[in-house]
Structure 1
Amino acid sequence: MAKRKHTNPIRLNDGMTIGSLAAETDDDYLFDCFVHYPPVDIAMKIDSHGSILTGRTGAGKTAIIRYIATHVEHSVQIQPSDMAMSYVSNSDALLFLHAIGADLDLLFQALWKHVLCIEFIRLRWAVTDSEKSRSIFGRIAEKFSRDQRKQKALRYLREWEGEFWITMDENIKTITERVEKKVEAELGGEIKRWKARGQYDKQMSVDKKTDLVRRVRSIISGEQLSELSGVIDILSEFDASEQGQQSKYYILIDKLDENWVDTSVRFRLIRALIETVKTFRRVRNLKVLVAMRTDILERVVQETKDISYQREKSEEYFIKMKWNRPQLRLLADTRILKMYRRQYTAQDVHFADLFPYQINRTDAIDYIIDRTLMRPRDVIAFVNECLRAADGTLEVTATHVRRGEIEYSRLRREALEHEWQSAFPTLKLLLDFIAETRKEAFQIGDMTAGSRLEQLGLNVASEPKIDFDPTHAAATAFCESPAENAFLFAKGVAAILYRVGAVGLKLDPGDRFRYSHQDEPIISVALIPDEAKVRVHPMLHGALKINLGH
């Protein structure tokens, strides 16, 4: 391609970027370059069931949360780190109940419902002190005092009327302490023995555990949930009867992937949050919006199987973060335009002006998007690496793009391992395994050839056993009976690599390659035939030293 004539030659200098990879630190670009696409509309639509933003890291969940927080009049953002949930996970009484298999789900739902009820009351009536709190309760009590069905809920509100204005962590501590005292009164001796003797819970007979769980069932019962459900009904009916009440309210929850509570209870708390969000759909002028990474949702499913969490029953509440090519092109173009206007010139400079060359007969923007999981963060990261490679020049050439791709690919592999560490802790070993092939595509049978699969099985099986990790069990079975389980183990590896986005799968010769970020997010091992083909995603070619000659 012939070079263009530069009418406004400005060199690409060190430090030029089209934004930060994290929405939390992207203020210079996030709001001015915000792409308003369908998930934003669903999230902001108050009567939509969609309440849980789900997507890979970097898909734009936090960006939507921040956009709503800054563009709607009535919103509040809950930070899980401010909720003192660590008090829950450090409670000896609750840890003992967890150890003997007691179901704490009702307690966790009560905690979330209480927090969300109080946050809505504070937001709806601008409660800032105890006097305003009591005044609001007086209005509510007067309106429903003659409704016998609401008396339990009114008693609950009366009990907490002076607490609506205090911090949520104090409320959580108070609720937890009440449950602790009741549990310790019933099982205090057992809890002391459990604290004094390691493995005490594992030495108990099944009958004794069953008896202890039965004895505390009445303590962690549905009574408080029933009262809170009545409170939610009161809040819904109160505003529905208010003439001219048209305001919309948003409670926003993000950062569930951070260390806000010990992992021993984190995923059960998140599962309880999912169930709780559903109940607040009854409050018609309130939207509770939760941002949740896909891998965190995966762990919720893995960790809560014993309490029968069924993902399909929650599907209508999920807002799936999916981007298409025009949207990603617009994102890149808008940010290039902003970068030049902000730092260098008032003249419009678009993506095509800065990236005028084709790579392998493909437009630069499509070449870049092909090497992403269709996420904004990937596009921003790749473009930033290209700008860094082109430092000191007038434009980004094909050579700069290829040079930037190597570092981009390396960083994407690291990010992939970090993203899925929680759900698949041996992912690094699986990526090392496919890196050894140095091939872009291969069959399942190729994975079983030679001794490489046996070595992978030994490496995975020798890692510390984690109950939820499906790879460890498959590797152990393979090591015990290699001949019988070779294909089964290879398919298991391929299924996980597909799940995280590292490879595509072609299940039938007449089919196309499928990828989890575009097609079905999970393909069961049982659906993968022996003749299936595996293709490494182009995003990882640079990191795995595949096809670098282009």
Structure 2
Amino acid sequence: MAKDFKHNPVVIRPDTTIGNISAEADDDFLFECFVDHPALEAARSSKTSKMFVSARTGSGKTALLRKIEQQFAVTTSVVDLPGLSMDYVANSDIIRFLKSLEIDLDLFFQALWKHVLCLEYIRLRYNVKNAERSNEIFGWLKDFFRSDERRASALKYLAQWQGRFFITMDENIKELTSKLESKITGELGAEIEKFSARAGYTRTLSAEKKSELVARAKKIVNSAQLADLNRVLELLSNVDSTDKYASTYYILIDRLDEKWVDEAVRFDLIRALIECLRTFNKVSNLKVVVAIREDVLERVVQETRDIGFQREKYDDYFLRVIWTEDQLRELVRKRFNLLYRRKYTSDNVTFYDIFRNKVGQKDPMDYILERTLYRPRDVISFINECFERAQGDKEVTAKIIKDAESEYSRIRMQALIQEWQSAFPSLSIAFRLLSNRRGRFKSTEIAAKDFLDDFVLEVDQAPSWDNDPIKESVVRYMSEDSNDNMLGVARILISELYRIGAVGLKTSSGERYIYSYQDVPVISPDAIDLETKIHIHPMLHRALNVQDQAR
């Protein structure tokens, strides 16, 4: 029951919010109101293989990493991706030359990540801050393995850096790239000069000449350095196994979705990071935790299909963050309590003290949660939007919730399009064609020729990229206007709308509607037929002017 604050009434002020939707800017609420999500323990435990925190934007990936950093500040290193020298790699004439020859740089990129992370662990683990300490640690490692010939190659590798374990990660990246540049220049210097001087030079090469250059370059870009680094990891693992009381050390990587490096190599670098990190599990006292958005992972898969990158091989290393209704209610409870604790009363102020009335026949919290993808960001955004419209009032009425929903729905639809723009650039067109219809319908309506012809024409004319699966299906349909190709476009489109959370699906009459954020994250296009039932998510109803609002 709502409380009656007679002596100190709760008034909704212009600055009233339950926090920022971005974890980076949410210090006022994030740590004090942190919900003890099971994903936190899985992410921070060195006993689990989970090292990639995979989730939708706004699901709490960054919050998890920030909580680990807060709890283990002394033994944690946060990688500043924008501060790294990865653009030095992307802008290198040598790297661009090798890419123009279509040489797979995955081994070099893996070695790059593995090298900087190994040295960062040594710096963190042994508190290396200067050259003197660096030499001391190398000398200690050398003495430790003096009689172990199996570690000789690992010590030889570390000897190259023995006085410089303290240097920054960006300096490491520049040095490693410079070494590769020197080797390639020594082997192919004349060809690189021609490449730098003449645009499109490698496209003019004969097949025979190109094959010769590729063979010579591959002798340098090989797995030898990776093998040495694997031995370094084994060495570090062997040292740690002798100290059962050692702390766990964390290296945290976030912001992979930002513009931290040129797009030409960004997804290659992310793939290489995923590939190389599996071997770090052998170092028992080290936990590398990487936050990666699901749309970024999807783009990595799309970009690297030609070289056989398979997401299923890495399932054991990925931690999917899913929120329950009870966890989201707990998040709201904690934030409301903190918001009002010192302003009005020592009593707990709850959600229902402010949101006192039902919306139609629905509990206000149920109404709000139904219009989210069960992400903290959605809940916080909707409630803040309600506060924005209730300034000066003592409660948030049902009318205010309805008014706030219009803007909230518009913002969430644009955010959804922006979130998946990189992987599925055609989705914004699909949203326009879904507007002004019923909330529930069968897939036959999307597979109908009048719908698909409009969609196909817009997608065909819109800028896209070669690996967009929706565009690929449209190209097939444009080349042959057959029923099979028409159904193929509809299936792909429905599958992707489901994946991003825009729709729920019922694939058979005896089942309930399922949603990607609660149930299976992906449904194969082959599982969709003309009888599949589609439900436009209530979060999008107002933005798309959906005719029926009932769930």
State the TM-score bracket (shorter-chain normalisation).
Answer: over 0.9
Counterpart of 1:543 in 2: which secondary structure?
Answer: helix
Per the TM alignment, residue 491 of structure 1 is displaced from its structure 2 partner at its CA by 1.9
Per the TM alignment, residue 233 of structure 1 is displaced from its structure 2 partner at its CA by 1.0
Per the TM alignment, residue 172 of structure 1 is displaced from its structure 2 partner at its CA by 0.7
Q: Against the structure 1 CA distance between its residues 549 and 157, is the aligned structure 2 distance closer, same or farther, given a 3 Å change threshold? A: closer
Counterpart of 1:338 in 2: which secondary structure?
Answer: helix
1:227 and 2:228 aligned: yes
- Residue 408 of structure 1 aligns to which amino acid in structure 2? Y
Counterpart of 2:504 in 1: which secondary structure?
Answer: strand
1:269-308 alignment runs, 5 A limit: 269-308=269-308
Look up the match of 2:489. 489
Look up the match of 1:150. 151
Q: Against the structure 1 CA distance between its residues 357 and 208, is the aligned structure 2 distance closer, same or farther, given a 3 Å change threshold? A: farther
User: 2: CA distance between counterparts of 1:396 and 1:286?
Assistant: 48
Counterpart of 1:241 in 2: which secondary structure?
Answer: coil
User: 2: CA distance between counterparts of 1:258 and 1:465?
Assistant: 20
Per the TM alignment, residue 399 of structure 1 is displaced from its structure 2 partner at its CA by 1.1
Q: Against the structure 1 CA distance between its residues 74 and 453, is the aligned structure 2 distance closer, same or farther, given a 3 Å change threshold? A: same
Cα contact 1:58–1:378 (8 A) shared by 2? yes
Q: Against the structure 1 CA distance between its residues 89 and 357, is the aligned structure 2 distance closer, same or farther, given a 3 Å change threshold? A: same
User: 2: CA distance between counterparts of 1:454 and 1:549?
Assistant: 28
User: 1: CA distance between counterparts of 2:210 and 2:410?
Assistant: 49
Counterpart of 1:346 in 2: which secondary structure?
Answer: coil
1:455 and 2:454 aligned: yes
User: 2: CA distance between counterparts of 1:22 and 1:173?
Assistant: 32
Per the TM alignment, residue 16 of structure 1 is displaced from its structure 2 partner at its CA by 0.6
Look up the match of 1:471. 470
TM-score norm. by structure 1 comes to 0.96
1:69-218 alignment runs, 5 A limit: 69-72=69-72, 73-218=74-219
- Residue 451 of structure 1 aligns to which amino acid in structure 2? D
1:262-411 alignment runs, 5 A limit: 262-411=262-411
Per the TM alignment, residue 154 of structure 1 is displaced from its structure 2 partner at its CA by 0.3
Counterpart of 1:541 in 2: which secondary structure?
Answer: helix
- Residue 270 of structure 1 aligns to which amino acid in structure 2? I
Cα contact 1:163–1:171 (8 A) shared by 2? no
Counterpart of 2:489 in 1: which secondary structure?
Answer: helix
Counterpart of 2:534 in 1: which secondary structure?
Answer: strand
1:402-441 alignment runs, 5 A limit: 402-435=402-435, 437-441=436-440
User: 1: CA distance between counterparts of 2:56 and 2:234?
Assistant: 35
| Structure 1 residues without counterparts, runs of 5 or longer | none
Residues 380-436 of structure 1, C-alpha deviation per residue, up to 9 Å, x if partnerless?
00110111122221111111111111111111011111111111112211111111x
User: 2: CA distance between counterparts of 1:491 and 1:42?
Assistant: 35
Residues 229-277 of structure 1, C-alpha deviation per residue, up to 9 Å, x if partnerless?
11111111112113x6331111111111111111111111111111222
- Residue 464 of structure 1 aligns to which amino acid in structure 2? P
User: 2: CA distance between counterparts of 1:44 and 1:98?
Assistant: 37
| Structure 2 residues without counterparts, runs of 5 or longer | none
- Residue 290 of structure 1 aligns to which amino acid in structure 2? V
User: 1: CA distance between counterparts of 2:126 and 2:142?
Assistant: 15
- Residue 379 of structure 1 aligns to which amino acid in structure 2? V
- Residue 28 of structure 1 aligns to which amino acid in structure 2? D
Counterpart of 2:187 in 1: which secondary structure?
Answer: helix
Counterpart of 2:20 in 1: which secondary structure?
Answer: coil
Counterpart of 1:77 in 2: which secondary structure?
Answer: strand
Cα contact 2:58–2:378 (8 A) shared by 1? yes
- Residue 192 of structure 1 aligns to which amino acid in structure 2? E
Look up the match of 1:66. 66
Cα contact 1:454–1:482 (8 A) shared by 2? no
- Residue 188 of structure 1 aligns to which amino acid in structure 2? G
Look up the match of 2:18. 18
Per the TM alignment, residue 5 of structure 1 is displaced from its structure 2 partner at its CA by 4.3
Look up the match of 1:480. 479
- Residue 158 of structure 1 aligns to which amino acid in structure 2? A
User: 2: CA distance between counterparts of 1:467 and 1:197?
Assistant: 26
Q: Which 4+ runs in 1 deviate beyond 6 A?
A: none
Look up the match of 1:445. 444
Per the TM alignment, residue 301 of structure 1 is displaced from its structure 2 partner at its CA by 0.6
User: 2: CA distance between counterparts of 1:466 and 1:235?
Assistant: 43
Matched pairs, number: 547
Judge which range, 412-421 or 462-471, deviates more: 462-471
Per the TM alignment, residue 374 of structure 1 is displaced from its structure 2 partner at its CA by 0.9
Residues 130-174 of structure 1, C-alpha deviation per residue, up to 9 Å, x if partnerless?
000000111000011221111111011111011211111111111
Cα contact 1:475–1:489 (8 A) shared by 2? yes
User: 2: CA distance between counterparts of 1:342 and 1:22?
Assistant: 24
Per the TM alignment, residue 212 of structure 1 is displaced from its structure 2 partner at its CA by 2.2
Counterpart of 1:378 in 2: which secondary structure?
Answer: helix
Counterpart of 2:186 in 1: which secondary structure?
Answer: helix
Per the TM alignment, residue 342 of structure 1 is displaced from its structure 2 partner at its CA by 4.5
Per the TM alignment, residue 6 of structure 1 is displaced from its structure 2 partner at its CA by 4.2
Cα contact 1:239–1:245 (8 A) shared by 2? no
